[in-house]
Amino acid sequence: MTLTTTELHEITAANAAGKTPVVFVHGLWLLSSSWRAWRDLFEEQGYATLAPGWPDDPDTVDQAKADPDAFAGKMVQQVTEHYAEAIDALDQAPVVIGHSFGGLIAQKLAGESKNAVTVAIAPAQFKGVTALPPAALKAAAPALLRFNHTRHGVTLTWEQFAFGWSNALSEAEGRALYEEFHVPASSAPIFQAATANFNPFAETKVVTDNHDRGPLLLIAGADDNTVPQAVVENEYRIQQKKIAETELAIIPNRGHSLIIDSGWREVADTALTFVRKHAS
């Protein structure tokens, strides 16, 4: 078992509530605490929420910044299995909402029929996605150019965060988000995504021909440099060929920080409308 005491407590509480559970999956350079506002909103709307971290995540942003290498070497399948363990402990299939690599993991879980409903926000590219805009390469460079990427966590500089995350915001808001939310991250998933189309055993593979995956909403920020709109549209074209309902929403004037910045509520309401339509 890889679940922490806190995660087990959240699972127990969700099962006891008897409400539709919503599992939030964060991506790189954030902790599960980044979902706090979303959890409050969904709980107000009658859902039971939980936000497991990645395996061995520090508890707080301060702890994370003090120990960057705590994140080193985390890989996509390891993290997916951690969330699958949490989902398997729930009494009913949950709604799963993920951001960035969390959005990729959410789609992997959906392909395994773990989810009742899935929302993937600015999801990292899965195997088979060929769109690769220059902005995405520049945003990934801090990880891709890292030596010994399995041994060390990667911390973005303010300039790198400003390009990859807060480019659609004022500098003041971007700096505030950088201080409040940004933590080091494993660079391994970025290498896995970048090389997936050349690797027959790629961990970023998503089962896209499972007709039982449930409804899927993909959300893109129109100004996202880390996961540009073209990448999400490519994912949508692959996913929407199947029987299960698939929708795409483009949020204008939004970058990769769209789940934590001052415009988060527009994104959350878009997700919530989809969830209400498809989940009891």
Question: Is the model's pLDDT at 234 over the cut of 70?
Answer: yes
Percent of residues, the chain, with pLDDT higher than 90: 81
Write the pLDDT tens digit of every residue in 63-91. Answer: 999 999 899 889 999 999 999 999 999 99
Query: Tokens standing for 157?
Result: 């500089």
pLDDT computed for residue 112 by the predictor: 96
Q: Which residue range forms the structural domain that includes residue 152? A: 5-278
**Main-chain phi, psi angles of 123, to 5 degrees:** -75, 135
Cα 50 to Cα 94, 119, 269: the distances in Å are: 10, 15, 18
Write the pLDDT tens digit of every residue in 167-182. Answer: 999 999 999 999 999 9
Count how many domains the chain has: 1
pLDDT computed for residue 76 by the predictor: 96
Please list the residues that pair with 216 across neighbouring strands.
118, 246
DSSP 3-state of 249: strand
Question: Any idea which residue has 């460079």 for tokens?
Answer: 141
165 closest CA partner among 223, 121, 123: 223
Please list the residues that pair with 247 across neighbouring strands.
217
CATH number of the domain residue 92 falls in: 3.40.50.1820
Question: Distance from first CA to last CA of the chain, Å, rounded?
Answer: 30
Question: Is the model's pLDDT at 148 over the cut of 60?
Answer: no
pLDDT computed for residue 140 by the predictor: 79
Quick count: other Cβ atoms within 10 Å of Cβ 39?
Answer: 19
As to burial, measured by CB atoms within 10 angstroms (0-12 exposed, 13-18 middle, 19+ buried), residue 170 is: exposed
Query: Tokens standing for 191?
Result: 């290498």
